[in-house]
């Protein structure tokens, strides 16, 4: 697969995707959006790959949507604008519902859609000093397609403050509000990411995918409306090959098959 906007390293069990447009701080345009979706889809069928790490080349993780690209949309028809916005929404959804967990390695800056991309990932870890911000209102626009992921992570209270002011904030604050899971010194970022990857590799691959689906299904819903679903999932998974193997391995005091 020829990639112009990304760099892909597949070293099973891990795939690393690097946003690779450092000149514009990895701002994404239509080509980057479509490449990222294509790569994430491709990784679904890479059986050896169990964890995805998303990072950015150069000085920043991602400066959000390419403002030249966004500005040029004024010359597009309403239908074309809807199509482009939909492709952006599809990208975030593809990250969010990837059956393979996505760890984000965040440094430098994650602004606008870049901060939204962080929110769509499962385990974002940031370097201290990283600048975050939902800066859209300062540009006269809004963080629309990323809002479900961001509000899901940081809640309505922080979203009201940060979406309405567009102010920038630092990694420690991003960790406090739940946008990232940890803020660590930059020199510890790679080791922290590898630690997260290692923890994820302890889990059964099918179980991880099912756990992601479980969170999506259950979050914000009434217990009564999800109870049947939760009952069915555990009833199915405890008799699945992976569930049986995991429990057998524990009882036999050995590693399960997916631990190699």
Residues forming the site for ligand COA (CB under 6 A) = 24-25, 27, 59-60, 63-68, 109, 111-113, 131, 135-136
Distances from the Cα of 72 to the Cα of 8, 67, 83, 114, 161, angstroms = 29, 8, 14, 19, 29
The nearest distance, CB 131 to ligand COA, in angstroms, is: 6
The nearest distance, CB 55 to ligand COA, in angstroms, is: 15
Task: Reduce the secondary structure of 139-177 to three states and give it as a string.
Answer: HCCCCCCCHHHHHHHHHHHHHHHHHHHCCEEEHHHHHHC
The nearest distance, CB 66 to ligand COA, in angstroms, is: 4
Residue number, 70 or 200, with CB nearest to ligand COA: 70
Told to judge if 194 belongs to the known catalytic residues of this protein, a careful annotator would answer: no
Q: What is the DSSP string of 66-112?
A: -HHHHHHGGGS-HHHHHHHHHHHHHHHHHHHT-SS-EEEEE-SEEET
The nearest distance, CB 251 to ligand COA, in angstroms, is: 52
Structure tokens at 205: 């691959």
Structure tokens at 206: 């099918």
Residue number, 109 or 150, with CB nearest to ligand COA: 109
CB of 98 within 8 A of CB of 50? no
Q: Nearest-CB residue to ligand COA?
A: 112
Residue number, 13 or 112, with CB nearest to ligand COA: 112
40's enclosing H/E stretch is helix 30-44
27's enclosing H/E stretch is none
Taking the CA atoms of 55, 58, 62 and 67 in sequence, report the sign of the dihedral they define: negative
Distance in angstroms (rounded) separating the CA atoms of residues 249 and 260: 12
Q: Which of 11, 136, 170, 224 is an active site residue?
A: 136
The nearest distance, CB 22 to ligand COA, in angstroms, is: 9
Task: Reduce the secondary structure of 41-52 to three states and give it as a string.
Answer: HHHHCCCCCCEE
Query: Which residue is associated with the tokens 């690393």?
Result: 16
Residue number, 23 or 156, with CB nearest to ligand COA: 23
Residue number, 60 or 162, with CB nearest to ligand COA: 60
Q: Which residues are catalytic?
A: 136
């Amino acid at each position: 697969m020829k990639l112009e906007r990304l760099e892909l390293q597949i070293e099973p069990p891990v795939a690393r995707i690097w946003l690779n447009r450092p000149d514009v701080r990895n701002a994404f345009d239509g080509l980057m959006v479509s490449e990222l979706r294509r790569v994430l889809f491709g990784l679904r069928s890479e059986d050896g790959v169990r964890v995805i790490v998303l990072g950015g080349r150069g000085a920043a993780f991602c400066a959000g949507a390419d403002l030249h690209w966004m500005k040029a949309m004024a010359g597009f028809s309403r239908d074309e604008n809807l199509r482009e916005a939909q492709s952006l929404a599809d990208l975030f959804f593809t990250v969010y519902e990837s059956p393979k967990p996505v760890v984000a390695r965040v440094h430098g800056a994650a602004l606008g859609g870049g901060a939204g991309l962080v929110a769509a990932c499962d385990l974002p870890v940031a370097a201290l000093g990283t600048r975050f911000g939902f800066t859209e209102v300062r540009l006269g626009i809004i963080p629309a397609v990323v809002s479900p992921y961001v509000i899901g992570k940081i809640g309505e209270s922080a979203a009201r403050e940060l979406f309405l002011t567009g102010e920038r904030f630092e990694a420690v604050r991003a960790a406090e509000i739940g946008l990232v899971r940890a803020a660590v010194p930059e020199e510890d970022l790679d080791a922290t990411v590898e630690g997260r990857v290692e923890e994820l590799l302890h889990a059964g691959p099918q179980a991880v995918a099912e756990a992601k689906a479980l969170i999506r299904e259950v979050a914000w819903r009434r217990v009564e409306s999800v109870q049947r679903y939760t009952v069915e999932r555990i009833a199915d998974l405890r008799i699945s090959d992976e569930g049986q193997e995991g429990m057998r391995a524990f009882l036999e005091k050995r590693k399960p098959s997916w631990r190699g």
